[in-house]
């Protein structure tokens, strides 16, 4: 009897042991612990993306005014941004049409520069006149002003802009101006030459200045293409001259 019980106990032990082995085989493999933050991980392969086309202003020199994308309106009512002036020298000045003191002299100085150019040189130079008066000088009033000045509007552009645009351009040109309580503006009188890439190449300060240095610079730009301005081409900013209405 004792022998029978011993045999049964041994058989039960074997059955239990085999059952445990089957359960362990059915268990899923243990999930590996995630690597620690400090563990080295394989580097993902680099993804090569096509290079986007350069923005239009990427081609301009760092000091170019053509980086500005501010919108202006011409005397014809057309939208214009400064990069539209690229490709040839531009003579640029700021006035306002109701000015009766220095602005008429400024316009005379601009026309004197134009007259000093040879007839064959004039088509290669653009003249741009920008108004300080964002509220009063509409495209219509600028169109009337252009007619009054008897200039060739194929080469002369008059620009109206919002007050923020006027402030931006005046800062870029180092032209100081202050609105006056009674109307009008106290402003500096500066004629600026931009090269074909929008870089300030020369500035003529004050009124009734001889045109020869500015004309010589225009001819140099026309014959050699744009170059960086020499230090002598950009004098210190002129203070406002006390001009009002």
Which CATH class name applies to 67-233? alpha beta
- Per DSSP bridges, beta strands 126-131 and 90-95 are parallel
DSSP-assigned beta bridge partners for residue 192: 92, 203
Show the CA angle centred on residue 163, arms to residues 162 and 165, nearest 5°: 65
- Distance (Å, whole) CA 187 – CA 179: 9
- Identify the pLDDT of residue 239: 53
Helices (H), 75-138: 102-116
**Residues in CB range of 240: below 8 A, 6 or more apart:** 176, 177, 178, 186, 187, 188
Q: Please provide the average confidence, as pLDDT, over all residues in the chain.
A: 79
Q: Is the pLDDT of residue 175 over 70?
A: yes
- Identify the pLDDT of residue 228: 43
- 48-96 pLDDT, tens digit per residue, is 223 223 344 568 999 999 999 999 999 999 999 999 999 999 999 999 9
């Amino acid at each position: 009897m004792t022998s029978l019980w011993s045999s049964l106990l041994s058989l039960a032990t074997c059955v239990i042991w085999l059952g445990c082995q089957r359960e362990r085989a059915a268990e899923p493999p243990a999930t590996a612990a995630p690597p620690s933050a400090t563990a080295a991980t394989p580097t993902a392969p680099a993804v090569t993306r096509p290079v986007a086309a350069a923005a239009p202003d990427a081609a301009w020199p760092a000091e170019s005014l053509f980086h500005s994308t501010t919108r202006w309106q011409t005397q014809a009512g057309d939208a214009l941004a400064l990069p539209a002036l690229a490709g040839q020298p531009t003579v640029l000045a700021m006035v306002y049409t109701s000015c009766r003191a220095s602005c008429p002299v400024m316009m005379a100085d601009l026309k004197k520069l134009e007259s000093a150019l040879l007839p064959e040189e004039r088509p290669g130079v653009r003249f741009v006149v920008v108004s300080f008066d964002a509220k009063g000088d509409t495209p219509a009033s600028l169109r009337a002003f252009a007619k009054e000045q008897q200039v060739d509007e194929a080469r002369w552009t008059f620009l109206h802009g919002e007050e923020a645009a006027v402030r931006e351009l005046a800062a870029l040109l180092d032209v100081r101006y202050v609105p006056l309580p009674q109307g009008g503006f106290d402003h500096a009188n500066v004629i600026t030459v931009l090269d074909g890439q929008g870089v300030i190449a020369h500035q003529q300060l004050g009124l009734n200045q001889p045109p020869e240095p500015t004309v010589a610079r225009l001819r140099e730009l026309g014959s050699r293409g744009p170059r960086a301005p020499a230090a002598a081409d950009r004098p210190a900013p002129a203070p406002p001259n006390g001009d009002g209405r």
